[in-house]
């Protein structure tokens, strides 16, 4: 390889490693339907607007569309591999954030538990529920964690019980309760109420 091409490759790799990385994991509706199909209660999932917001905020984003019926644990193992690859390429763990909404948040929780890296950032959005620990007794949160849920959401609640149950290293934990009145549909929308805190969390030193 010519020296100039090698230099450009090294510069590109260096810039990629220096940029904050965000892995976005969407909700289950997007698994089972096209992006232009409206949920009967919550409308269109604004996946494109959500991912565009993260790009505009300066993140190098990974936001794959999962196939229908994706196994959450298996997919979490794939995300762990993505994170390991980023770290091996020179990205600092503290510059990596995994953001998940609903089932995507469930995958993010499994990723946190499997990865066990206290420096990596996580945002769990609308994904915890009362009997989570009973159903997933081996789930152990680890990392720097922001939990966001909506007060009117009948499908998700606080993550604090799961946080107290976790014996792994949680370097920081914060939880926000939204009051949009949109029930579970709040995470279908590219809303500043949850996008803003998510970006702030991912950019924090």
Pairing of strands 143-150, 96-101: unpaired
Question: Model pTM?
Answer: 0.91
pLDDT, tens digit, 9 for 90 and up, residues 113-140:
999 999 999 999 999 998 999 999 999 9
Domain boundaries along the sequence of the chain: 24-203
- Highest CATH level, class, for 24-203: alpha beta
pLDDT at 18 (0 to 100): 63
Please count the other Cβ atoms lying within 10 Å of the Cβ belonging to residue 52: 14
Tell me the C-alpha distance between 36 and 46, whole Å.
9
pLDDT at 168 (0 to 100): 84
Q: What is the DSSP letter of 186?
A: G
Q: Which residues of the chain have pLDDT under 70?
A: 1-18
């Amino acid at each position: 390889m010519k020296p100039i091409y090698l230099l450009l490759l090294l510069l590109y790799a260096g810039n990629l490693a220096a940029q904050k990385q965000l892995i976005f994991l969407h909700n289950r509706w997007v698994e089972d339907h096209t992006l232009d199909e409206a949920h009967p209660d919550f409308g269109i999932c604004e996946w494109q607007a959500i991912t565009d917001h993260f790009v505009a905020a300066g993140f190098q984003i990974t936001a794959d569309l999962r196939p229908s019926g994706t196994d959450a644990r298996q997919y979490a193992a794939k995300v762990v591999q993505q994170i390991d690859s980023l770290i091996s390429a020179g990205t600092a763990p503290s510059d990596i954030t995994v953001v998940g909404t609903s089932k995507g948040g469930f995958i993010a929780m499994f990723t946190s538990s499997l990865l066990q890296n206290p420096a990596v950032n996580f945002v769990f959005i609308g994904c915890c529920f009362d009997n989570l620990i009973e159903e997933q007794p081996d789930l152990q949160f680890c990392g720097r964690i922001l939990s966001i849920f909506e007060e009117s959401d009948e499908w998700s609640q606080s993550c604090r019980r799961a946080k107290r149950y976790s014996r792994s290293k949680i370097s920081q934990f914060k939880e926000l309760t939204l009051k949009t009145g949109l029930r579970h549909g709040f995470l279908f929308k590219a809303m500043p109420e949850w996008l803003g805190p998510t970006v702030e969390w991912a950019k924090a030193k």
